[in-house]
Amino acid sequence: MSALKGIRLRTFVIFACAALAGTALLHTSQRVQEAEETLASLEAEIAREQDTMRVLRAEWEYLNRPERLERLATKFLDLVPPSPDTMSDTLIDEAATLPEKPVDNDQAQPASYEAEDTQ
Amino acid sequence: MIFIRRLRQNPSRLKGEKSTALDLARGRLALMGGVFILVYLLLALRAVDLTVVQAKKIDPDLRIADRTTQSPNKPGNLMRADIIDRNGVMLATTLKTASLFADARFIAEPKAAAAALKKIFPDLAYGETLQKLQSGKSFIWLKRNITPDEQKRVLEIGEPGLAFEESTKRFYPQEGMAGHLLGYTSVDNQGLYGIERSFNGYLSEHTEPLRLSIDVRLQHALRREVAATVKEFKAIGAAGVIMDVNTGEILAGVSLPDFNPHDFSIVTEDQSFSRLTQGAYELGSVFKIFSVAAFFENRDLPMSTTFDASEPIRIGGFTINDFHAEKRVLTIPEVFMHSSNIGTAMMAQSIGGVKLQEFYTDLGLLDPMAFGVKEVARPQVPNPWREISTLTASYGHGVTTTPLQVAAGVSTVVNGGTLVKPHLVLSDEPDNTPDIRVLSESTSHKMRQLLRIVVSEGTGSKAAVKGYNVGGKTGTAEKIVNGRYDNKKKISSFVGVFPMDAPKYAVYIMVDEPIGTKRTWGYATGGWVAAPAVARTIASIAAIEGIPPQFGPDHDLASNLKQYIKLEEKR
């Protein structure tokens, strides 16, 4: 078009750049908004998961309270707490006579009759 | 303007001026139009993208969740910090709960909603709920603290006028197991008792859990044994404590009757009263530990020193008698193992009331004990302190203190002589305060021997646990009823320490008004009531902590005291 002759190349380039920059800006701002939404939804999800974890942990601790474990152990297990006699006669002797426990590749566990605490 | 400037700069373009200017304007319009079309096209595309393409990606749960009021962890809206035991087991935590309310302006079908709610919450009355839903008010509580499952079912009714408000509620997974130490909070999460009260500021401002010195396993073992004792002897109450004698950490502490912290509105005064820290009692012969230690500190005399306990002491119309009367001259180990009031009173007399009182004070027996909770009693001493006060105080009469303070005092006596300050909160920072020496290492050693012989040969034989070198002392005191001692109402207690050659644990159990049984031949003394409970507790501690038993006379600390003892034939 002859009408465009009047516009020099430089001006055209400037307009093109402006349009490009505008498009890029719009695109970026859309991306940011999108990312923010994802972030907010993830954060909300994390908060929900954390709340759920709190509830589950509380329930776990409630179900693992010593009073209940003792009641269930008495009912369902044939085990009794170690007394001085059983500790000396079985555990200590056994520790001496038992063959060595094969060493696990991942971790070697020390022979211990102490119940490990779950943190 | 740029245009004019350009014209001036480019005189050659002035030819055919008018048509050129028109073309120029047209061209620019076309360009601008093109740009706008492009931009709108982009926007249109984006709109399609958002509404059609991406709409499916958004989590439907989130959209529902967005509608309920979220309370993120804004400052000032922190969840009250957890309380955990020494191994990280949860003692108290805060949970979010939803409370159901109605905005009656938006209730579409009140009758259907009321019927549906009645189905979910059987305790809601249909008529009342319907009335609420039809009231037209914008905010009416329907049900507080509902479970997540109930919340889901309410949402499923699909009634727009039903909404939830999130709130927090304190939860105690171990229930009342350490209730008197832990305490409880009000509905708006303010600590009202125990650690919850004394550390209210910390708990409401921090998110890091507060770590206590309690071990729930030991706490359970102690509570079980104390409760069994209360039941067996039909006592009105009891207290017990397990203490680390070297650090003063309270590993377990119990007072019965106790309460459920979730239901503190129905707690009676008797339940909320902590016999361990709020009850100041005349605790009887356990005080002989402190009196004999005071004697050794002030008089450099050997174990073979004798006291004539063949006759009661009569002073100012008051007679001091022995309960387990030997009616003969006794050496120090014999005074201690037979729990002779006469012998102990003579020891106290020889050092004097001032020294005795000073020693009790140094051990922390006579001042209110600051250890982490505010519910503590003020010990009482006779005022004025007369000579008779010295004699009776030596065997624990006339002076009151709390069971916790006795445990701390005994810890100080047996641990080598450095002051034990009981505490309930574990600190990450190492304790740099210098040790305060209250008694000498040699006195402490002598006291360990004496405590051991009480269990191996004396009144505390029922506290013996095979293989664990238990030492200890019985105490039986009569309660004062209407200004005079009532021999039917006793405070029977026993303090046990083990292992005696290198003490680690002190266990003190006090039983309030036990009644003797057939099995105890009607006796309700410390040696019959509390000592077996201490023995069972110690056996549990050993099993829980995995302490291997040690057998053989080599470990018996008190064997070289036997030369000072006239052993009875039957033993």
pLDDT at A107 over 50: no
CA-atom Rg of chain B in angstroms: 38
Q: Give the DSSP letter of residue B428.
A: S
Q: State CA B99 to chain mean position distance.
A: 30
Give Cα separations from A82 to A91, A92, B273, B461 (angstroms). 9, 12, 35, 22
Average pLDDT over residues B397-424: 91
How many structural domains are present in chain B? Answer: 2
pLDDT of residue B533: 93
Determine how β-strand B306-308 pairs with β-strand B313-315. Answer: unpaired
Which tokens is B101 given? Answer: 């309310």
The tens digit of pLDDT for each residue in A49-69 reads: 988 888 899 889 999 999 999
Q: Give the DSSP letter of residue A41.
A: H
Domain membership of residue B511 (yes or no) is: yes
Q: Which residue of B has its CA nearest to A22?
A: B39
pLDDT at B230 over 70: yes
Choose the closest CB to B549 out of A61, A87, A113.
A87
pLDDT at B73 over 50: no
The tens digit of pLDDT for each residue in B355-372 reads: 888 899 999 888 888 888
The tens digit of pLDDT for each residue in B277-322 reads: 998 898 989 999 999 999 998 888 888 888 888 888 888 778 888 8
Domain membership of residue B58 (yes or no) is: no
Domain closes at, from B211, B245, B273: B211
Tell me if B242 sits within 8 A of B252, measured CB to CB.
yes
Which tokens is B461 given? Answer: 């034989």
pLDDT of residue B407: 93
**How far is the C-alpha of B482 from the C-alpha of B380, rounded, in Å?**
17
**How far is the C-alpha of B2 from the C-alpha of B558, rounded, in Å?**
111
Domain membership of residue B2 (yes or no) is: no
Stretch among A78-87, B105-114, B191-200, B500-509 having the lowest mean pLDDT: A78-87
**How far is the C-alpha of B97 from the C-alpha of B170, rounded, in Å?**
10
Query: Quick check: A4 and B27 CB within 8 A?
Result: yes
**How far is the C-alpha of B449 from the C-alpha of B444, rounded, in Å?**
9
**Residues of chain A neighbouring B549 (CB-CB closer than 8 A):** 84, 87-88
The residue length of chain B stands at: 571
Q: Is A104 on the interface with B (CB under 8 A)?
A: no
pLDDT band at A111; cut points 50, 70, 90: very low
pLDDT at B170 over 80: yes
Query: Quick check: B30 and A117 CB within 8 A?
Result: no
- Do B190 and B244 sit in the same domain of this protein? no
Domain closes at, from B211, B231, B266: B211
Domain membership of residue B536 (yes or no) is: yes
Residues of B assigned a catalytic role: 285
**Maximum alpha-carbon separation in chain A:** 111
Task: Give the Cβ contact number of residue B70 at 10 Å.
Answer: 11
Domain closes at, from B159, B188, B211: B211
- Do B389 and B305 sit in the same domain of this protein? yes
- Do B329 and B442 sit in the same domain of this protein? yes
Domain membership of residue B115 (yes or no) is: no
The tens digit of pLDDT for each residue in B171-211 reads: 899 888 888 899 888 888 888 888 999 999 888 888 889 99
pLDDT of residue B265: 78
Q: Which domain holds residue B294?
A: 219-564
What H or E segment, with its residue span, contains residue A49? Answer: helix A9-63
**Residues of chain B neighbouring A92 (CB-CB closer than 8 A):** 548
Which CATH number is B277's domain given?
3.40.710.10
**In the predicted model, what is the mean pLDDT of chain B?**
84
pLDDT of residue B224: 93
Domain membership of residue B45 (yes or no) is: no
Q: Residue B358: is it exposed, middle or buried by C-beta count within 10 angstroms (0-12/13-18/19+)? A: middle
**Residues of chain A neighbouring B177 (CB-CB closer than 8 A):** 65-67
- Do B407 and B455 sit in the same domain of this protein? yes
- Do B198 and B228 sit in the same domain of this protein? no
- Do B488 and B548 sit in the same domain of this protein? yes
The predicted complex's ipTM stands at 0.71
- Do B328 and B406 sit in the same domain of this protein? yes
- Do B168 and B199 sit in the same domain of this protein? yes
**Maximum alpha-carbon separation in chain B:** 145
Stretch among B142-146, B240-244, B408-412 having the lowest mean pLDDT: B142-146
**Residues of chain A neighbouring B542 (CB-CB closer than 8 A):** 84, 87
Domain membership of residue B36 (yes or no) is: no
Mutation for testing the A interface, residue in B42, B53, B73, B214 having most A CBs under 10 Å: B42
Which CATH number is B89's domain given?
3.90.1310.10
- Do B320 and B448 sit in the same domain of this protein? yes
pLDDT at B87 over 50: yes
Q: Omega into A110 within 30° of 0, i.e. cis?
A: no
Q: Is A79 on the interface with B (CB under 8 A)?
A: no
pLDDT at B120 over 50: yes
